[in-house]
Amino acid sequence: MTATPRPSSALHTLTAPEARDLLVRREISSTELTRACLERIQQVDPQLHAFVTVTPELALEQAALADRALADANGDAGKTPELTGIPVGLKDLFCTEGVQTTSGSKILLGFEPPYDATVVARLRATGAVFVGKLNMDEFAMGSSTENSGLSELLHGTTRNPWNLEHVPGGSSGGSAAAVAAGECLLALGTDTGGSIRQPAALCGVVGLKPTYGRVSRFGVVAFASSLDQVGPFSVGVEGTAMILRAIAGQDPLDSTTAPERVPDYRAQLAGGIRGLRVGVPKEYFVEGTEPDVTARVRDAIAKLEELGAEVGECSLPHTDYGLATYYIIAPAEVSSNLARYNGTRYGLSATDVPDVFGAMDEARRRGFGDEVKRRIMLGTYALSSGYYDAFYLKAQKVRTLIKQDFDQAFERFDVLVAPTSPTTAFKLGEKVADPMAMYLSDVCTIPVNVAGLPGISLPCGFDAKGLPVGVQLIGKAFDEATLLRAAFTYEQATTFHTERPSL
């Protein structure tokens, strides 16, 4: 021991890289760090409602194993994976062996998977510590986490730690809120149309959507299989780089994963961005973007230029069709993926209905929320006879045009920059009754999913109400290293990532 350990009450404020350094030097133990996070959950989650399930026994067991591994390493950082002993939260759609996994839906209450999702298994193998499962919009369908089917059971809707009267974003709102509030140092979420980047922006943390195929989706409850991608949340870009390296890579259990080499992202953060070509798509500063958001993002662009980037305007002309394209393709895939939830093998069952088909219908009626039902019906309609060509097939053709826009832009630029969300966190209940207004929350993030590209959101300031603003960087396929380097360079030249909410 080379220094006096920090008081346990302050350990939850550590970033993942800071915690890693202290753990390796054995100035703190994983057990102390884990207890600090569990105490933080006990302290603030009655207000925040970020967690569906807290797993203290599992966490402390994993922390003890991590402490033994760190003791055996005796200060040699190379002998333990970077995430050894780091508390991590999991969005509640990652199958976790023996731990309830609900996907935010009543229809899966009580479901305990007999296996781990690949990303969970990979984190487990690194020695990460699982503190619990995090709340979300039901089956990841939403932009505020208000569509969670579990809000009544949690005694409240998940809230934004910067202002408890505002939403945390969604669908990974629990993950973003938990990291922002110091309930865990890292968290995993999924991004189908912005569900990592948008809540990261609204909660003032870093959120990365990797390239489609960079991270395995095996064991992840599916929403829209051609759009879903797993990614991390952290305070600071360096933590994102650490966890991405652990979860990325080809998986024989997921045929959509790519045989691309996984670099050491953390080692490639340094180097600056002098000469980096940064494009600003004019279509992303949409009508309705809040003035404070526009101002803070423009400030971020100016800072990138000041740091040596070569900034220029570009055009992605089919951006306006992104929202319509997404809301045909995604519900169509929902219609197919959610057909498996019929109450016959696991989850909610209507055992009081004697007829088998009637029981299936009743289980889905009772188990699915309004937004899930809405998307199932939209998708079934789009795929139905006589409408498939007019809707689904046409949407796939427009998807190709959107991807071609990005391909052309990346012939001139290395990275694109835009707002993550047109607004900061809106008030609870403000958009619940207006699905279209809610859908527009993802207008800046959806095209990235449609094209299968990586994108990252990081803090770039605050609005007049003191709510965080996020700037989005978009990269070339499988070039997360450049994206992270650009984000890290910007972050190190600013202080926004050091700001924490005062819960």
Q: Provide the pLDDT for residue 362.
A: 85
Tell which phi-psi region holds residue 170, choosing left (phi > 0), alpha (psi between -120 and 50) or beta. Answer: beta
Tell me the one-letter amino acid at 365: R
Which residue is catalytic, options 171, 172, 335, 441? 171
Which residue is catalytic, options 143, 195, 349, 457? 195
Which pTM was predicted? 0.95
Strand, helix or coil for residue 209? strand
Mean pLDDT computed over every residue of the chain: 95
| Beta-carbon contacts of residue 401 (< 8 Å; ≥ 6 apart) | 318, 321
Tell me the one-letter amino acid at 155: H
Give me 224's structure tokens.
Answer: 């829209």
Stronger pLDDT, 342 or 221, i.e. the higher one: 221
CB 136 within 8 A of CB 92: yes
Give me 319's structure tokens.
Answer: 């951006």
Does 195 participate in catalysis according to the annotation?
A: yes
Give the Cα separation of 252 and 118 in Å (integer): 10
pLDDT tens, 444-458? 999 999 999 999 999
> Residue 469: which H helix or E strand, with range?
strand 468-475
| Beta-carbon contacts of residue 108 (< 8 Å; ≥ 6 apart) | 101, 102, 221, 341, 346, 347, 348, 367
Give me 139's structure tokens.
Answer: 């089956």
pLDDT tens, 18-45? 999 999 999 999 999 999 999 999 999 9
Alpha helices (H) in 287-351, listed in sequence order: 291-306, 322-337
Does 209 participate in catalysis according to the annotation?
A: no
pLDDT bucket at 214, cuts 50 / 70 / 90? very high
Q: Does residue 295 surpass a pLDDT of 80?
A: yes
Q: Provide the pLDDT for residue 7.
A: 52
Task: Tell me the mean pLDDT in the region 314-338.
Answer: 96
Which residue is catalytic, options 29, 30, 91, 105? 91
pLDDT tens, 54-63? 999 999 999 9
Q: Does residue 333 surpass a pLDDT of 90?
A: yes
CATH class of 8-266+276-324+392-498: alpha beta
pLDDT bucket at 198, cuts 50 / 70 / 90? very high
Q: Does residue 176 surpass a pLDDT of 80?
A: yes
Q: Does residue 215 surpass a pLDDT of 90?
A: yes
